Chain A
């Protein structure tokens, strides 16, 4: 075991890692259970985390690669009382069914909106193409994200 240090949800922490340990396993055993185990081969997006502002599949990321990085999991975004605007939009649009994919979807959407606050439809599809949802057929998720984008666009135009 070796010790690595990285920031998780804004808090600097030390972790003891095995060389072949994946980031998902390290984080889940340390309490970040919002990160879901799905395909285990970097396809479905249930295990998505944000590393240095970009989404990554934690199921195929060796934990030691997180050393020195800034990592965000779903636990770092909003609370039950004060949900993140993306979470709020997903709920109000009825875009959540079983919910297993939702932490990954919220994080992918957040990473996208942090980079492009008013993405066009193609950009939304590009940024969200690594998250599968087997319940909703994507339409409601997409509508919820467009709602957040519309709100951002309104804020941008008010600033101007």
Chain B
């Protein structure tokens, strides 16, 4: 991709006006960290959306509202009861990249460095978009059914992401397996588990990287609902189910190693989530 011009709209209406005018020749830029990986000589006009008022984290009664242009480093340093995204942000690449990348950019298209789609699936976040046709809200599970860029289609913008608070009877677990601290994930697992009287009442388990495009592991979720929140029982239940998951080794790892890793990490992440439940 070759940037041949740039514009800096101040409002969302101006963004749509540019998108309508430029059509497929437009490319939206916020953090811009993914552009270096886009090869080819296709000429594009960059629409710099960094002036839009889509930044910051707002605290609501039972959720947080994160503007799409909020930097990963702000997510990393933010702290509040029920906020679980700091531990995810902290593991994303390096400080410079965390300072440059935005949450919206990390989820607008699923790239190998997109750590957040898996987590948003596990905590059932909601993603708001706006287009000239109006505002739409997607459950994470619908938003990540396909490449989100197919939903956005250069006609819609992500405006905010609503992150449920995870506290009290719910716990969160997260693991990103990497070869070096700044490397892309070889396996990411995130889980949100709710318990009552030591029984699992709700569970959302999501993975990506070695297991492919970010997805919920519904077979494991269904098998664990209603079971005792006991890690040896959980291990026994999920072992045959994990065997059915197809894993693809990355960064030199074999498929067999990736499958072993998947089982171990899923158990660790569920254990972490359960241990957080009060």
Contact = CB atoms under 8 A, between A and B. Distances in A.
Given A54-B71, A126-B90, A64 B46 contact: yes
Contacts of A48: 96
A56 B99 contact: yes
Given A41-B36, A108-B96, 15 more contacts: A19-B3, A19-B4, A19-B6, A20-B3, A43-B94, A45-B94, A48-B96, A55-B96, A60-B32, A61-B32, A67-B8, A126-B76, A127-B95, A129-B94, A130-B96
Contacts of B181: 129
B32 A19 contact: no
A62 interface: yes
A42 interface: yes
For chain A, give the interface size range. 20 to 34
A65 interface: yes
Contacts of B131: none
A57 B100 contact: yes
Interface of B: 2-6, 8, 29, 32-33, 35-36, 45-46, 48, 50, 71, 73, 76, 90, 93-97, 99-100, 181-182
A60 B29 contact: no
Contacts of A127: 95
A50 B36 CA distance: 20
A43 B182 CA distance: 8
B96 A42 contact: yes
A2 interface: yes
B8 A62 contact: no
Given A41-B36, A42-B36, A43-B182, A62 B6 contact: yes
Contacts of A43: 94, 182
A4 B77 CA distance: 31
A128 interface: yes
A56 B8 CA distance: 20
Contacts of A67: 8, 48
Contact of B3 (A56, A62, A108, A128): A62
A129 B71 CA distance: 17
